[in-house]
Structure 1
Amino acid sequence: MQIVTRLIAMNRARQLQRQFRQIERSIAALPVRTRARLGIMALREIGQASRCEFPHLYSTSPEQRYVPWGQGTAIGFGRAQSDNPEVALRGIALWLAVAYHETKDSPHPSLQPQHRQLLRVLRELRDVGGEQPDATARWMRSGAAA
């Protein structure tokens, strides 16, 4: 059973890595002001997900409660590909939040690098407003911190 669990975790890690590369390219293509807004949106999504009983299943229907991972990353990734900039931005924020919670306390070594990459991107989004002296304080006080 441990071998099957490891294979599933490795497959999931590969899937998240593929999606992450595309999400990262989308973030890099955003203007600085939009990236700052994305940082606030992502923090808000992470906070909302953390209030759920199962944060890694955020935006997944209740009937699918016992699956190893939810539909949040697939939904967010699909929205991130949208031609509508607002929908794409919200999709990226959703993907970041769900992937964050999914990889956060994972016991699987194959998912830990994804979590570190997510933390790096979230840190970069937080620091994007560095020109303004109190940007970090405003980011933390935005009502999204859980």
Structure 2
Amino acid sequence: MRIVTRLIAMNRARLLGRQLREIERQVHNLPKRTRARLGTMALREIGQASRCDFPHLYGTPPEERYLAWGQGTDIGLARARSDNAEVAMRGIALWLAVAYHETKNTPHENIRPHHRDLMRLLRELKEQHRADPMQEWGVQATAAA
């Protein structure tokens, strides 16, 4: 049984790595202002997922809750490929949230590097959100009022 579990985990790690590279490309192709918004959306999605009973199954239809891995990453990636910019951003945020929870405390050695890469991408989004000049303008405008 351990061999089967390892094979499934290896296949999942390979799939997550491929999806992560595509998500990274899409994130880096976004304009800076959009990346700042994406950081906020991803943080919100991660928070919503953490309130679920099984955060790694966030976005998975209820009838498929008994799978080893949910379909949130697949759904998020499909939406991220959309021509509609808003749908694509929401898909990227969903993918980031589900992948974060799926890789966070994984016992599988070959999935852990993906968590580090994912954390690096989330840190980049967080830094760009902090550097957003419109955010500072909003804070200054409310302070002046």
TM-score, normalised to structure 2, is 0.89
Instruction: Give yes or no for the alignment of 1:99 onto 2:99.
Output: yes
Aligned-partner SS, 1:129: helix
Superposed CA RMSD:
1.5
Counterparts of 2:59 and 2:132, CA distance in 1: 33
Counterparts of 2:132 and 2:96, CA distance in 1: 24
Q: Which residue identity lines up with residue 86 of structure 1 in the other structure? A: E
Unaligned 5+ segments in structure 1 are 136-146
Instruction: Give yes or no for the alignment of 1:9 onto 2:27.
Output: no
Counterparts of 1:6 and 1:35, CA distance in 2: 35
Q: Which residue identity lines up with residue 82 of structure 2 in the other structure? A: S
Larger radius of gyration: 2
Q: Which residue identity lines up with residue 22 of structure 1 in the other structure? A: E
Unaligned 5+ segments in structure 2 are 136-145
Give the number of aligned pairs: 135
Counterparts of 1:46 and 1:65, CA distance in 2: 18
Q: What do the CA deviations read for 1:74-98 (whole angstroms, capped 9, x no partner)?
A: 0000000000000000000000000
1:129 positional shift: 3.1
Percentage identity across aligned positions?
69
1:20 positional shift: 0.6
Runs of 4+ in structure 1 over 4 Å off: none
1:131 positional shift: 3.2
Q: Which residue identity lines up with residue 99 of structure 1 in the other structure? A: A
TM-score, normalised to structure 1, is 0.89
Counterparts of 1:43 and 1:129, CA distance in 2: 11
The equivalent of 2:89 in structure 1 is 89
Q: Which residue identity lines up with residue 89 of structure 1 in the other structure? A: M
